[in-house]
Amino acid sequence: MKGLAISLTCDCGKQASVAYGERWTCPGCGTTYDTAQIPGGDYDRLMQLTRRYRAISWAVVIVMAAIVLAVAITGQTISIFAGLAVSLLSWFLFIKPVVHRRHRRAVNGLTRRWKLEAR
């Protein structure tokens, strides 16, 4: 998996997305920020959280597809459409928001502590 971009906001208001370990110089005021100041352990945990979030999302999609395929093989067309509608509504209205909220809370717990010193 490709590394996650780190969003930086300069004191002057300019924003940029930078890869971990890179330096960014603000085009507005010339201030330099170094993302290598972020603890490596925190960044690794952030990557693990993101991998797990994506894996859970893919696993749920695969399980739903397998269920729809199993119903399709049995030839029950009305059940396919009803089941697909119920499973998609369940995913987008109930399951995904809960998983996304938990992921965001875990990410915020790690990233809110990062305060890069400008040079």
Interval 45-82: pLDDT, tens: 888 988 988 898 889 889 888 887 887 788 777 877 88
Mean pLDDT in residue range 3-20 = 85
SS3 category, 51: helix
Q: Does a structural domain hold residue 1?
A: no
Residue 119 lies in a domain: no
116: in domain: no
Q: Is residue 45 part of a domain?
A: yes
Confidence of residue 33 (pLDDT cuts 50, 70, 90): confident
Give the chain's domain count: 1
Q: Is residue 54 a part of any domain in this protein?
A: yes
Confidence check: pLDDT of 2 > 80: no
Per-residue model confidence as pLDDT tens digits over 101-118? 988 888 888 776 677 777
Residue range of the domain that includes 99: 6-111
Judge contact between 37 and 116, C-beta under 8 A. Answer: yes
pLDDT computed for residue 112 by the predictor? 66
46 falls within a domain: yes
Render 6-45 in DSSP notation, one character per residue: EEEE-TTS-EEEE-TT-EEE-TTT--EEEGGGS-HHHHHH
Q: Which of 38, 25, 26, 33 is nearest to 111 (CA)?
A: 38
Residues near 14 by Cβ (< 8 Å), separated by ≥ 6? 26, 27, 28, 29
Residue 118 lies in a domain: no
- Produce one character per residue of 75-106: b if its CB has 16 or more CB atoms within 10 Å, e if not: eeeeebeebbeebeeebeeeeeeebeeebeeb
Is 117 part of a structural domain of the chain? no
